[in-house]
Amino acid sequence: MILCDVGNSRIHFFDGERVLHFLHDDGLNRFKDEKVYYICVNNRMRERIEVEAPGWTDISKTGALESGYSGLGVDRKALCIAVHDGVAIDAGSAVTVDVMENGRHLGGWIWPGISTFKRAYAQISPALDVRIDSTVSTQSLPLDTVSAVNFAVFAPIRTLVKRFAPDKPVFVTGGDASFFEPLFKGAVVDERLVFRGMEKMIKEIRC
């Protein structure tokens, strides 16, 4: 059984052992004839999959999650189902943060992704085109430009998580997950989290 998470910019597969990342065309061409269970937040890709990979099974509408959030993306839903209790951070093209308590989704928020922040600063001024580094201190006011940029990116993330979920464990996934590990002591970084949620969603189908 192969699991697939179709994102806005890339497509990700889990074969039970490894997580594989592709551009949309490459991933679809490689696995289109396989038995795949997938979730998708990209409507254009969903239309292509229905035509080019008719054997794939869309599980986006499965999986019970108690939440009052309107419009929660299925990738966030799967991540929340996997986490169950704690803070779920998906650091991809956008950075999403969701707070879970004993299987109940309390709410969450969305930031631009790290690469978007970096491009935005570079467009303002070449002087702001600096290395993004989450190990820069967020505990004291910055005294240089590199620290100032990184403080502005990461301090709000750390502060809001501590504000709304001060005692909860933090779980991080996504291509930029490594940036977030230094921000939260004991953070669990696992690129398979969304797929673990998908596995629980599939069990619901089979019951």
Predicted confidence band of residue 32 (pLDDT cuts 50, 70, 90): very high
Of 65, 77, 115, 122, nearest to 93 by C-alpha is 115
How far is Cα 37 from Cα 91, in angstroms, rounded to an integer? 23
Q: How far, CA to CA in Å, does 126 sit from each of 73, 123, 130?
A: 35, 7, 8
Give yes or no for residue 206 having a pLDDT over 80: no
For residues 128, 131, 134 and 140, what is the CA-based torsion angle, rounded to 10 degrees? -40
The string over 21-30, giving b where at least 16 C-beta atoms fall within 10 Å of a residue's C-beta and e elsewhere, is ebebeebbee
Domains and CATH numbers, the chain: 2-58 (3.30.420.40), 83-199 (3.30.420.40)
Whether pTM > 0.95 for this model: the answer is no
Task: Give residue 62's pLDDT.
Answer: 87
Listed in sequence order, the DSSP H helices in 3-58 are 24-31, 43-52
Distance from C-alpha of 79 to C-alpha of 62, rounded to nearest angstrom: 13
87 burial via Cβ count (<10 Å: 0-12, 13-18, 19+):
buried
pLDDT, greater one: 62 or 206: 62
| Residue positions annotated with a catalytic role | 75
Sheet-wide strand order for 2-6: 19-22, 11-14, 2-6, 36-40, 57-58
Q: Please identify which residue in the block is written with the tokens 């690469």.
A: 115
Encode pLDDT of 118-172 as tens digits.
999 999 999 999 999 999 999 899 999 999 999 999 999 999 999 999 999 999 9
In the 8-state DSSP scheme, what is residue 168?
Answer: S
Cα–chain center distance at 7: 9
Answer yes or no: is pLDDT of 108 > 90: yes
pLDDT tens-digit profile of 44-93?
999 999 999 999 999 988 888 999 999 999 999 999 999 999 999 999 88
